Amino acid sequence: MLTIYIDADGCPVKDEVYKVANRYQLPVKVVANKGFNIPMHALIQMVVVPSGLDVADDWIVEHIEAHDICITADIPLADRCLKKQARVLDVRGDEFTDNMIGNALATRELMKELREAGQVSGGPAPFSPRDRSKFLSGLDRVIQAIKREQRAH
Cβ(17)–Cβ(143) under 8 Å?
no
Average pLDDT over residues 14-20: 96
Angle at 137 between CA 42 and CA 40, to 5 degrees: 15
In the structure, what pLDDT confidence band is assigned to residue 101 with cuts at 50, 70 and 90?
low
C-alpha–C-alpha distance, residues 79 and 101, integer Å: 6
Global pTM value = 0.86
Q: Hey, what long-range contacts does 78-81 have (CB within 8 A, 24 or more apart)?
A: 78/104, 79/104, 79/105
> Cα 46 to the chain's mean position, in Å?
15
Domains and CATH numbers, the chain: 4-99+125-152 (3.40.50.720)
Looking at per-residue pLDDT, the higher value among 15 and 113 belongs to 15
The mean per-residue pLDDT over the stretch 16-26 comes to: 96
pLDDT in tens, 39-82: 999 999 999 999 998 999 999 999 999 999 999 988 899 999 99
Among 5, 20, 13, 15, CA closest to 91: 13
Dihedral of alpha carbons 14, 77, 103, 145, sign: negative
Q: Please report the pLDDT score of residue 4 as a whole number.
A: 98
Contact criterion met (CB below 8 Å) for 78 and 70:
yes
Q: How confident is the model at residue 1 (pLDDT cuts 50, 70, 90)?
A: confident
- The arithmetic mean of pLDDT across residues 135-139, rounded, is 96
